[in-house]
Amino acid sequence: MSDDLPEPPDYEALFEGAPCGLIVTTEDGSILRTNRIFCTWIGLEPAQLQGRRFQTLLTVGGRIFHQTHWAPLMQMQGSVAEVKLDLLHGDGHIVTMLLNGVRRADVNGPYYELALFGTTDRDRYERELLSARQHAEHLLKEKTAAE
């Protein structure tokens, strides 16, 4: 290795410190590993998640969507992008996240790499846009009616 090249990154630190939730599961959804940010967002410790099926973290609607859409897409296409899911926080409230996932395989068989992103700011922005649009439409109707 040349002296002027930087050292390769510490992949363990990158996984743990990623600005998104990261999960590795078996093909049936059993969680092999999670990073700190996902545990923080979901309110559970890594030990509480290890071996648990990812589907058990979803709301009832999320589980149905998983069975009918998300899981089949992962098997057929090998990936999914921007799937919006509601997960259950450890204290029972709902946490909405966007999921990107990819199916990979090694000598131990297939596994899934999942990246999850919080949607709180995005959801707030979308609500504000919708509200502004509805207000503009209301003003246009009033103007049209007045004319």
> Is the domain covering 20-119 a CATH 3.40.50.720 domain?
no
Q: Where are the domains of the chain?
A: 20-119
Q: What is the pLDDT of residues 9-50, one digit of tens each?
A: 888 999 999 999 999 999 999 999 999 999 999 999 999 999
Q: 99 and 80 in contact (C-beta within 8 Å)?
A: yes
Distance in angstroms (rounded) separating the CA atoms of residues 15 and 91: 25
Residue 61 burial (CB < 10 Å; 0-12/13-18/19+)?
Answer: exposed
Mean per-residue pLDDT pooled into runs of 10, the chain (147 residues) = 74 91 95 96 95 95 90 91 92 93 93 90 61 70 78
Q: What is the pTM of this model?
A: 0.76
